[in-house]
A and B are shown apart, each in its own frame.
Chain A
Amino acid sequence: MEKQSFYQEFEVFSKRTPTSNFQHQFSLLAPNGEMALVMAQENFMRREPVVDIWVVNRKHLHGLTQVNKQALQRLDNKDYRTTKGYGYLKKKWRHYEQVMLDEKEILSWGGGGKKDDK
């Protein structure tokens, strides 16, 4: 049985730069969300750059049990979903004297950002 306490458990997430994803940092105890945000900065962001913070009360988190996590395992037969299943195209394009437009090439087309590194 859990003891009564004014503390609640929060999981802390933060973003390092405006373009990065939120990353889980750790958990902390705080009486409410507002204090949790203050504590999150004190506890986990004393040095690293940070542009945004989320705190989530643990009672609002829904997760998987150890047994249900096993259902996440995938069979290794899904090549048609990934570029791995189409790797043979590289050789085909070479035959036609063209370079294959692979993931690295395509994701470099963002424009305004990184230029071709060739």
Chain B
Amino acid sequence: MEPAARLDNNHELTLKEFPYIIRWRDDRCKRCGRCTAVCPMFSIAPTVVAKRVVSSSGANPTPQVERQVVTVIKQSTNIANYCTGCATCTLVCPNEAIEPELNPNNKFLINKNAGGGAYTRGGRRNDPLVSTLDRLKFTRISMLTDPALDAGRHEFRIRTYLGRILPAEDLPVKFVNGSGELDATAGKFIPPVREIYPVMIGSMSVGALSPTMWEGLAMGITYLNEVEGMPVVMCSGEGGMPLSLFKSRFVKYFIPQIASGYFGWDEMIRAIPHMVEDPCAIEIKYGQGAKPGDGGLLMAHKVLKLISEIRGVPQGVDLPSPPTHQTKYSIEEAVAKMIQSMSMAWGFRVPVYPKISGTRTAKAVLNNLVRNPFAAGLSIDGEDGGTGAAYNVSMDKMGHPIASNLRDCYLDLVKQGKQNELPLIAAGGVGKKGNLAANAAALIMLGASAVSIGKYIMQAAAGCLGDENNRCNVCNLGRCPRGITTQDPKLYRRLDPDKVAMRVVEVYKALDTELKKIFAPLGRSTELPIGMSDAISADDPAIAERLNISYVC
């Protein structure tokens, strides 16, 4: 007798297990094949089925029954070819015949471990709920006792400082006829400080991003600085940066990042003598919010010729960075040696700061930095940060939300009277629900000197399809349907870097207007309202208590 397993489909998954189910309309489909050609996951394929077709024709129609073999679109039930819901099929369909539909009752995570491999992906923490930042509102509105400012007509200075700021007591100053002069004879080191726009583009590497995406961002940043007069800066991410840019005058708008893999730095160190400008700053990556405790990871299929040249590695190999800088044994050593080495490389003219993932130990790092005269700041990346590749469990379950982590660090600095000396940069989920200006302003009022964005700009400037319902999120596979996180020329040629640059500029101009519309009613225009915690309230008493702000209802 034949085993039952061969007669039924018992060990197959049903489509009900999958996160997205393809809705295909036979009556609209003209069988052009575009959807199946474009699907990055090979989730859909053309296939043939035998059908009983009833048709009527002629002057006196009589139903005729006929068996036909017809072409249909079928969704795969192989877990490796799950539909990510990216909807590229919908995008290319000429007849609106196909679209993926979210299946909230899916059992995807239960099954996504075939072959013993844990689920890896790119993107973000899959939590579609409202974040703490979106629970905050601006409640100190200037009314009658003090006039609200005019966002359209008053002059606003939305700028911040990146770099360690000497306390006034330590400035080597002397007064000659009542006029202050810096006293060069005092032999005091005055750390470098940059004035920048308080919302910066965070670290996304050449490699994680496609050449067209990275180039588009870089062009947008340069345009904002050179034409719009907005000093927006961008971090390179791990993996070096094009040496042509590194050696150009435009490098002053960029923050090269050095991480535990040191990718690209052989080439960059050798190029330092040929630089014509100092970079804006140097970021030392110790961690990232999306996958705390994991190093960077660039999958082999993304390491093509350009990337191998920039990073100084062979083509076609996985590039995992260690979770920590391997040559350092203690926080003091790691922080002091790395910061001082990088400072020395540029003659102490460039601010050098570390980036860590949000963690309950952030205050310990902070206090080491406070005592290091060369530390230029601390960037903290919260759990809602994004990544090109990580284990799902790291992204979904590891990490610390940015709001309370930042607030704790800021209040710790306040306690020491050092809140203006070491700028805090907050990141991770800024603009998660689209409220970029409000989230950024809230973080500033909680104590951030600046904020970093990543996923927001990918979505706004290049139409990244990912979301917190695990839509798309296949940045790790190099099959990005928008051409944002791929090194495949067939895919990244879809993305026009000029259009990306234009969108970057549009995003920042709109952001600037919205920030003014927030600051003006609060009566603030001259300096960034860092730590203006009386201006914000939470709609949840527990959040209010934790962040030491007021509760409103």
Asked if A and B bind, the verdict is: no
Binding site for B on A (CB under 8 A): none
